[in-house]
Amino acid sequence: MLPSKKEWENIISNFGIDNSDHIVIYDNSDVFSSCRVWYTFLFFGHNPNLISVLDGNFEKWKNEKRPTSMQIKKINRSNYTASKNSQLVLNKDQINKNIINNKFQLIDARSAQRFLGLQPEPRKELKTGNIKGSKNLPFQELVNIKEGRTLKKKEELIKIFKERQILIDQEIAFTCGSGVTACILGLANSLINGKKPIIYDGSWAEYGLK
């Protein structure tokens, strides 16, 4: 799922973003793709203090009558430089080894029906079920859907993690269908304990191939 370092540098440079810029990401999607962009900036070494996700999506912003514009800002290309933090991404071999040695908890952000194999996967080439030893925490449980799609408060997030028997003081990695909604869990975990998100990027799209 992740682009190469060169591809990322080219993409971000074309947006005129500098390494010293504070970036605020928002979206208007049901899968909270802003969290995936946040994670990608962290993976490529952007200062974590200079990368934020807007709490609530664009619809909430408009409903609150906040400023909007139809103009497209003229952008001057920058010279953004990236540095990969490979510790933030896991591959299939690392997932398989963890089934044996249990070095970290693997948390799946998909719905309970998909996790339990009771609902077919959206991709026909995938089998149903979950990665052995993983735990399920549907990403929707972390979000106030009816309150502008904001993330729940830290105390609520801690309670939800504990109810799912997730040990917040131990190593955690996140997975989902394709590496996107796992980043929502990663953001919630970072709010709980300040740790950067660790994502199995192939997720079920790779692991669940028939």
| Cα Dmax for the chain | 54
Which tokens belong to 109? 């952000």
Out of 176, 183, 188, 199, the active site residue is 176
Which tokens belong to 119? 């609902």
The DSSP symbol for 117 reads T
| Radius of gyration, alpha carbons of the chain | 18
Q: pLDDT confidence of 1, banded at 50, 70, 90?
A: confident
Q: pLDDT confidence of 131, banded at 50, 70, 90?
A: very high
> What pLDDT shows up at residue 99?
97
pLDDT at 12 over 80: yes
Q: 164-209: per-residue pLDDT in tens?
A: 999 999 999 999 999 999 999 999 999 999 999 999 999 999 999 9
CATH code linked to domain 86-207: 3.40.250.10
Q: 19-76: per-residue pLDDT in tens?
A: 999 999 999 987 789 999 999 999 999 999 999 999 999 999 999 999 999 999 899 9
Domain ranges of the chain: 86-207
> What pLDDT shows up at residue 79?
98
> What pLDDT shows up at residue 147?
86
Residues 6+ apart with CB under 8 A from 66: none
How far is CA 158 from its chain centroid? 18
176 catalytically annotated: yes
> What pLDDT shows up at residue 146?
85
Closest CA to 31 of 134, 172, 160, 182: 182
> What pLDDT shows up at residue 145?
87
Q: What is the pTM of this model?
A: 0.95
Q: 142-153: per-residue pLDDT in tens?
A: 999 888 899 999
Q: How far apart are CA 50 and CA 38, in angstroms?
A: 10
151 beta partners: 143
